Amino acid sequence: MSYSDLRELLAALEKNELLRHVSAEVDKNWEISMVMRWIYQGYSEDNRFAVSFDKVKGFSIPVVVGAFGGSYKTYALSLGIDPHGPKSEVMAAIRKRWADALGKPIPPVMVGKGSCQENVLKGGDINLHRFPVPVWTPEKDGNWNRGLGFLTAPCHITRDPDSGAYNMGTYRSMLRENPAEMGVNFSLGSHIQGHVKKYEGRGLPTPVATLIGVDPAVGLASATRIPGDMDELSVAGGLRGSPVEMVKCLTIDLAVPASSEIVIESIIRPRSERPHDIEGPFGEVTGYQGCATYSPVMEVQCITFRNNPIYQAYISQMPPSESSKLRHVGMEALTLKKLLDAGIEGVEDINMPESAQGRFIIVSIRKTDDSHPERVAREVFNILQPRLGKFVVVTDDDIDIYDLDNVLWALTFRTTLTPEKRDIHFIEGLSANALDYSAAPSLEAELKKRSGEHTWPGVGAFIDATRPYIPYPVVSLPPARYLEQTKKDWARYGLPKLEKEALPRTIVVEERYLAEGKATMDLMPRS
């Protein structure tokens, strides 16, 4: 199942009880952010939902948050996947969909007209302040006291002036006092940055189309770090199983998805004509208030939007959040596929916990030899660099890598730390993102660097948490069949319904380990 626009997804979310409406009037300058922060910290992920704020003070446009990344369930439903099965099965389906989309992208197609251009603002009518753009971190974000918020869910489209290839990425954009301008904060090495440099080299402005409120496949592709040789709009077509329909912009030489809620057509002038200006600070996905930086200014040429438009936003700030959910699910899927494509043997699964945002990675493997974990770890760093990757933990495949208690158990009791052998290794020559302030020697040094490159030298840590020798003792849990029988008889005990019914992975896999001679119950002393 695929959706033609955001509205079809919202209907599906509501049908699946994954969307709630707030009918009370809310203030965009603090209240939307506060409600959503409670959604993410007050509910377990299984019970989180998207929210539509139907009455925003001073505006007639509703604001929707959490539609894509409210949880793994909303993410799955955004791809047309049934979100109600066991989490492991839902996540497996998400990863398969990503693998298929990357393997068989479907290019977009042009159409004559689109609903995104039902209303047009040009010249003196251009006014970004007419949209309910929330303030996300009151008293900390740039310009918060003026009620000038940040676009957090924009999809920015640019085109390479040499090849004509399209690029799409999600980079926050700060409203400015001039209602026909906004800042944009794109990361070092991003494709949009490369396009801007190429246009500047020719003395030309860079055309940029900014989408708000999109077909979910478009939004998910935009928020994920797609390989540089692939077109995000084609990957979006692969995710949805059909081509994205595009229409020509009215004032710049680009095309955009026809069903977008709002489209902002802009140009970025060469730096020699329009110097970069302050953008930020902003509450970042790493959980810290990001420093302000000098960034390009986008000059709006035209705004088009649908009748009765819906404004879509992502909440960022401290994980868990919508932006952290979007990043980690997509990055997990891509990293796992690249590991498998690289021919690394024995890789079973990968977990990149949302809170660590691509800097802590747990991989489970069927270990073939003592050097196997290190080969896996080095390939993970190779995939994620530059900027991502800090800790890589490799475990055996009997570890439930989604159960951090189980992972910590493996770290503690399988990682060898003796004078003769140390299973914690450091990988030199990496780069760390500027948002990881632990990599900067001081905040003063970080602030000085903000006018230039946004990375610091980094070092990675690889932890081998696999069993250090074979055979290894069995775990201190009863065989699976005993727990299975007890679960079947649970109602007889008169106890509340079990919240978690999955058996511990360690004992499920141990049956195979015993058969293969990798585990042993022979713990008697030798004479």
How high is the pLDDT of residue 16? Answer: 97
Residues 405 and 399: their CA atoms lie apart, in Å, by 10
Instruction: Give me 496's structure tokens.
Output: 């509340």
**Residue 50 near residue 74, CB atoms below 8 Å:** yes
The CATH class for the domain spanning 342-469 reads alpha beta
pLDDT digits (tens, 9 = 90+) for 499-514: 778 888 888 898 899 9
Closest CA to 287 of 433, 171, 426: 433
CATH of 6-313, one of 3.30.70.1520, 2.30.110.10, 3.40.50.620, 3.30.1360.120: 2.30.110.10
Mean pLDDT of the residues in the chain: 90
How high is the pLDDT of residue 77? Answer: 97
pLDDT digits (tens, 9 = 90+) for 74-85: 999 999 999 998
pLDDT band at 388 (very low <50, low <70, confident <90, very high): confident
pLDDT digits (tens, 9 = 90+) for 227-240: 877 899 999 999 99
Helix 87-103 and helix 322-341, axial crossing angle in degrees, nearest 10: 60
φ/ψ of residue 276, rounded to 5:
-65, 155
Domain positions in the chain are: 6-313, 342-469, 473-520
Instruction: Please name the amino acid found at residue 28.
Output: K
**Residue 12 near residue 3, CB atoms below 8 Å:** yes
pLDDT band at 286 (very low <50, low <70, confident <90, very high): confident
How high is the pLDDT of residue 348? Answer: 93
Q: What is the mean pLDDT of residues 351-362?
A: 88
**Residue 169 near residue 186, CB atoms below 8 Å:** yes
Distances (CA, A) of 23 to 39, 54, 361: 16, 5, 40
The whole-model pTM stands at 0.86
Strand runs (DSSP E) across 325-441, as ranges? 347-351, 360-365, 391-396, 424-433
Does the pLDDT value for residue 441 go beyond 80?
Answer: no
User: To the nearest 10°, the Cα dihedral for 399, 343, 93, 171?
Assistant: 100
Contacts 24+ apart (CB under 8 A), 40-49: 40/315, 40/320, 40/321, 40/322, 41/320, 45/71, 45/72, 45/320, 46/71, 46/73, 46/87, 48/73, 48/74, 49/13, 49/17, 49/18, 49/19, 49/20, 49/74
Residues 520 and 71: their CA atoms lie apart, in Å, by 40
Does the pLDDT value for residue 451 go beyond 90?
Answer: no
How high is the pLDDT of residue 454? Answer: 62
pLDDT digits (tens, 9 = 90+) for 150-177: 999 999 999 999 999 999 999 999 999 9
Please classify residue 248 by burial: count the beta carbons closer than 10 Å to its beta carbon, then call 0-12 exposed, 13-18 middle and 19+ buried: middle
How high is the pLDDT of residue 284? Answer: 78
How high is the pLDDT of residue 490? Answer: 85
Q: How far apart are the first and last CA of the chain?
A: 65
pLDDT band at 416 (very low <50, low <70, confident <90, very high): very high
Residues 354 and 71: their CA atoms lie apart, in Å, by 11
Q: What is the mean pLDDT of residues 464-491?
A: 85
pLDDT digits (tens, 9 = 90+) for 294-319: 899 999 999 999 999 999 999 988 88
Does the pLDDT value for residue 292 go beyond 90?
Answer: no
Sheet containing 255-257: which strands, arranged edge to edge?
A: 109-110, 245-248, 255-257
Helix (H) or strand (E) segment spanning residue 410? helix 404-414
pLDDT digits (tens, 9 = 90+) for 98-109: 999 999 999 999
DSSP secondary-structure letter at 474? P
Does the pLDDT value for residue 275 go beyond 60?
Answer: yes
How high is the pLDDT of residue 469? Answer: 83
